[in-house]
A and B are shown apart, each in its own frame.
Chain A
Amino acid sequence: MLDGLLNWVSFSNPMDNPFYAYGDVYNLPYDIGYKIWELIGGTLAWLLNLLFPDNGVSSFLVSDAVMNALAIVLMAVVIFAVAFIINLTMIWEERKVLGRMMDRRATRIGPLGYFQNLSDGLKTFLKENIMPAKADKMGYMWALSIVIGSSVLIACMIPLSDRWFIVDYGTGLLIIFALFAIAPFTILVAGWAQNNKYSLIGGMRAAAQLISYEVPMLIVFASVALMAGSFNINEIVHAQAETMWYILPLFLGFVVFMVAAIAEAERIPFDLPEAEAELVEGWQTEYSGMKWGLIMLGDYFRGYVACALGAIMFLGGWMLPGIGAGPVPELVFLLKVFLLFFIFIWVRAAHCRVRTDQILNIGWKILLPLSVINLIIVILIKMTGDMPWDMVIGLIPWDSIRGVIPWQ
C-alpha cells in the first residue's frame, strides 16, 4: 500500500510536478525536500489510511499542492542546514589552521577535532541568559535579531552551484550586498542599546568601518558586473567559464575585495569593533551566553558570504577551466571558498589589529582609488576587447626598440 501511495505522488523527474517552483531549472534542495516529505508524509498518509480507511486527510497530505508547499519549507531547512555545516567547517578550519600556524594544539574533540564546535555551541546554550537591567530592551533584542538574521539570510542566498540555490534572481549580487549592508545600522543600535561605554564606542567604530568599506566593495561589484554583463550570479560564473577567471584581468579588484571583505567580516586585522584589548568585546560586550554564540555564528556566516562572493566573482564559482561544472560542482565551489578563507586565517595569524583612524585611511585613501582604477580597467577591457596584458604589450613601442634588442 505504501508503494502505491508513493507511486501515486512521486515524480521521477521533479520537473513533471505541475507546481514545481523553478520552471525548467533543476533544483537539488527542492528535490531533497520533496523526497523527505515523500517519506514522512507518505508514511503518515499510509498509517492514517490503515487506521481510518478512505479518510480525506491522507489524500490531502500527499496531494500535489501540499507536497509542493512542504517541499519548499523543507528545502529552506536543507539549505540552512548545509550553510550551517559549511559554517561549522569553516570555524573548524580556522581553528586547525590557526593552531598549526601558532605552533599549538588546536581542537581535539571528535575526529580531527571536528566536534569541538558542537560542544562549544552546546555550552553557550547552557549559559544563563543575561540582559543588562538598564539596557534598551527593544533595541537590544531587535538589533541582535536583525544582525544574526541578515547574516544567516545572505549565507543561505549564496548558490553553491547551478542546481543548489533558493532563487535564481537577476540582481543577485546587489541583493546580497544590500542585505550585507543592513548590519552597520543595527550594530550601531546594538552598541547604543546596551547602555555600556565599551559597546557604544564599538558600535560607532563598527558603523564607521563597515560603511566606509562598503564603498570600494560596491565599486568592485560594479566592475565585475560590468565585466560579466550581469548582476546574476549564474551568469557571472558562466561568463568566467566562457572566458577566464576574473582574478587574472581584475587582480587589483580581487585584492581590494579581499581587504574589504576582511573588514566587512570584522576579522583581524580589521576587528576594531570588537577589539578585545581595549573594548573588552566591543559592541558585543553585553551579549552573553547563547546571544554571544549566535553573534559569533553570524560573524562566520558573513565571513562565509565574503569568501563565497570572492569565489563567485574571481575564481569562477563552481566551474573549473577545461572541466566545466563536473559531477559535484558544490564541492568545487566549497573548496574555493575554503581556500579563500585560508587567506583570511593566514592574515589573522600574521597581523596585528590596525587603529581606528588608520582603518578609515586605508579604506578611503587606498582602497577607494584602487577600486576606481579597477573599474577603469574593466571599462578599457570592454571598450577595446583587449586584456590588460595585451594593452601593456601594445603600449611598448616595438618598432622603435627593434634595433636595440639584439636578438630581434
Chain B
Amino acid sequence: MMWITMGPQHPFSHGLWTLKVKADGEIIVDAEPVIGYLHRGWEKECENRTYPLIIPMADRLCYSASMTWAHVYCKVVEEAIGIELTDRAMYLRVVADEICRIQSHLMWLAAMGTDLGNLTIFLWALREREFFLDLNVKLCGQRLTTNYPRIGGVRNDMPYYFERDCLRVVKRFEKALWEIIGLTDESAIFLSRMRGIGFISRKDAANYGLTGPSMRGCGVDFDIRRDDPYCNYDLLDWEVAVCNDGDAYGRYKVRIEEMFQSCEIIKQAMAKLESIPKTDPTRIKVPRNVPEGTHFARLEDPRGESLMYLVSDGTDKPYRLKVRSPIFVNVSAAKHMVKGVRVADIPAIMGTIDMCLGEADR
C-alpha cells in the first residue's frame, strides 16, 4: 500500500490539481482530490468592479466555456434589473453558447484521447475545434475569451456571411465527428478501456451533486435548457442526451450526443434568426445601478450547472457575487469513482469529468 500523489504537475491532470491515491499494487483503495492551486480571488475581485467590467472576468473562469460563463453572469444581472431580452439577442446567445459547447466538448475529447494514449483523437478533435474557434473569431473577434454577451443583449449582431459560414461548419462537423467516432466507438480497445470503470449510480450522483454530462451519463434525465428554459431554448426542437450506463463510457456517450444536438440547435436557431427582422435590437439599454436584492441565475454549462448568486446593494458594484462551479462539485465524486479501479483507469475516469480548474478554484 502506498500513497501516490498525482499532480499538480502531472500529465493526467488537465490543470493544476492533485489526486492523491492509495494504491494496493495496481488497485486503488482510497483517493483524495486536492484543488485550490489556481485560486485567484475571483469573487472578491468582482466586488471592486462595476457590473459591465465583470463580463471579461467571467470569460476567464474557464478557458473553453467562456461564452456560457459570461452568459450566466449577464443573466443574473438581467434578472436583478428585471429586463427581458429581445428575441434576436436570445437566439444569438443560443448560437454562441452552442458553438462554445461544441468546442468545449471537442477540447474534452482531445484531452480524452491523450489520456488514453491515442494522439490521433487529440489532433483530429482539435482540428475540428479550430473551425468553431474561427466562428468565434468571426462573431466576437476572439478565439477563447470571447467577451460577447452584454447585460441586456449581446455586443454585436452577426457579421456578414456569418450564417453561411456557421451552417457550413456545422454541416461539415456532423460528418467529421463520425470520423472521430470511428477511432473511438469502433475500437475494441477504446471500449474496453471506457466500459465498466468509474461507475456512479443515480443515487450517488444526486448525493454528490453531480450535474451536466456526468449526471446525464448515469441516467438522470435533466437539462436546464429544457427543464428551466432560458433564451427560447424551449421553442427549439432538440433532445436531451441521456445514457443509462453510469460509467466512463456513459459520460463519453452523452458528450458525443450533445455535440450532435448542439449542431441541431445551431441550425434551428439560425433559421429563427432568419425570420426575425434585422432591425430588432440585439442589445437594450440598462440602468447603471442594480436595485437592492439577491438573485441567482443558472444555465447549462458544457460541464454542468453553472450558477451565480448575486447580492446587490443598489450601487453599480455587486456586494457579493458567488459562483457555483460544476467542476468544483463534480470533482468531489472522484473519490467515489476511482475506488476499486486500477491506476491505469485514473486518466480515463478523470478525463470524463472534464476538469477545468479556472472555474473550480476561482
Residues on A facing B (Cβ under 8 Å): 98, 101-104, 197-198, 201, 268-269, 271-272, 275-280, 349-358
Interface-side segment among B117-125, B200-208, B222-230: B117-125
Top 7 nearest A-B pairs (CB, nearest first) are A353-B117, A352-B116, A277-B347, A102-B123, A352-B118, A355-B344, A277-B115
Given the known interface contacts A277-B347, A278-B346, the answer about A353 and B193 at a Cβ–Cβ threshold of 8 Å is yes
Which residues of the partner chain A approach B113 to less than 8 Å between Cβ atoms? 352
> 10 extra interchain contacts, Cβ-Cβ under 8 A, other than A101-B120, A352-B187?
A276-B117, A277-B115, A277-B347, A278-B6, A280-B11, A350-B118, A350-B183, A350-B187, A352-B193, A354-B193
Q: How far is the CB of A72 from chain B (nearest CB, A)?
A: 44
A354 touching B11 by the CB < 8 A rule? no
* Residues of chain B lying within 8 A (CB to CB) of residue A352: 113, 116-118, 121, 187, 189-190, 193
* Interchain Cβ contacts under 8 Å between A and B, 27 examples: A102-B119, A102-B120, A102-B124, A103-B123, A103-B127, A104-B123, A198-B4, A201-B23, A277-B116, A277-B117, A278-B12, A280-B10, A280-B11, A349-B118, A351-B118, A351-B189, A352-B118, A352-B187, A352-B190, A352-B193, A353-B189, A354-B189, A355-B342, A355-B345, A356-B344, A357-B26, A357-B342
- Using Cβ atoms and an 8 Å threshold, which residues of chain A touch B4? 197-198, 201
**B114 contacts A by Cβ under 8 Å:** yes
Residues 176-200 of chain B, each 1 if its beta carbon lies under 8 Å from chain A, else 0 = 0000000100010110110000000
Output the nearest chain A residue to B343 by Cβ-Cβ distance: A278
CB distance from A146 to the nearest CB of B (A): 26
Cross-chain contact A275 with B344 (CB below 8 angstroms): yes
Which residues in B have their C-beta under 8 angstroms from that of A271?
A: 117
> In the complex the two chains form, what is the Cα distance from A275 to B12 in whole Å?
10
Closest residue of chain A to B197 (Cβ to Cβ) is A355
Q: Is the CB of B343 within 8 A of A201?
A: yes
A103 touches B187 (CB 8 A): no
Task: Closest A residue to B26 by CB, please name it.
Answer: A356
Which B residues have a C-beta under 8 Å from some C-beta of A?
A: 2, 4, 6, 10-12, 23, 26, 113-121, 123-124, 127, 183, 187, 189-190, 192-193, 342-347
Distance in angstroms from A401 CB to nearest chain B CB is 37
Contacts of B342 in A (CB 8 A): 355-357
- A269-B189 in contact (CB<8A): yes
Chain A contacts for B115, CB-based, 8 A: 277
Main SS of the interface on chain B? helix
* A350 & B120 in contact (Cβ 8 Å cutoff): yes
Q: Which residue of A lies closest to B21 (CB)?
A: A278
Partner of A269, one of B10, B117, B123: B117
Determine the chain B residues whose CB is within 8 A of the CB of A272 once the complex forms.
344
Please measure, in the bound complex, the distance between the C-alpha atom of A276 and the C-alpha atom of B9, giving whole angstroms: 12
Q: How far is the CA of A272 from the CA of B193 in the complex (A)?
A: 13
| Number of inter-chain CB pairs below 8 Å | 86
Complex contact B120–A349 (CB within 8 A): yes
Q: How far is the CB of A62 from the nearest CB of chain B, in Å?
A: 55
Smallest CB-CB separation from A358: which chain B residue?
A: B192
- Which B residues are in CB contact (< 8 Å) with A351? 118, 187, 189-190
Q: Nearest chain A CB to B190's CB is how many angstroms away?
A: 5
Q: How far is the CA of A355 from the CA of B127 in the complex (A)?
A: 28
Q: Chain B residues with Cβ under 8 A from A197's Cβ?
A: 2, 4
Q: Are B187 and A277 interface neighbours, CB within 8 A?
A: no
Contacts of A355 in B (CB 8 A): 192-193, 342, 344-345
Shortest B153–chain A CB gap in Å is 39
Residues in A whose Cβ lies below 8 Å from that of B119 = 98, 102, 349
Judging by beta carbons under 8 Å apart, are B124 and A103 in contact? Answer: yes
Given A352-B117, A356-B26, A357-B342, residue A277 in contact with residue B189 (CB < 8 A) = no
Please give me the residue from chain B that is nearest to A276 by CB atom.
B11
Closest B-chain residue to A352, C-beta based?
B116
Q: Of all chain A residues, which has the CB nearest B347?
A: A277
B residues in contact with A358, CB < 8 Å: 192
Interchain CB contact under 8 A, A277 and B114: yes
> When A278-B6, A278-B346, A355-B193 are in contact, do A268 and B117 touch as well, CB less than 8 Å?
yes
A354 to B4, CA, bound (A): 21
- With known contacts A101-B120, A268-B118, A277-B347, A201–B189 Cβ distance under 8 A: no
Instruction: Tell me, in angstroms, the Cα distance from A103 to B128 when the chains sit together.
Output: 11
A198–B121 CA distance with the chains assembled, in angstroms: 25
Q: B257 to nearest A CB, angstroms?
A: 20
Known contacts: A103-B127, A350-B120, A353-B117. The answer to whether A278 contacts B347 by CB under 8 A is: yes
Residue of B nearest to A101 (CB): B120
CB distance from A282 to the nearest CB of B (A): 11
Question: Which residues on A sit within 8 Å (CB–CB) of B190?
Answer: 351-352
C-alpha gap A269/B183 in the complex (Å): 13
A355 to B344, CA, bound (A): 6
Tell me how far the C-beta of A349 lies from the nearest C-beta in chain B, rounded to whole angstroms: 5
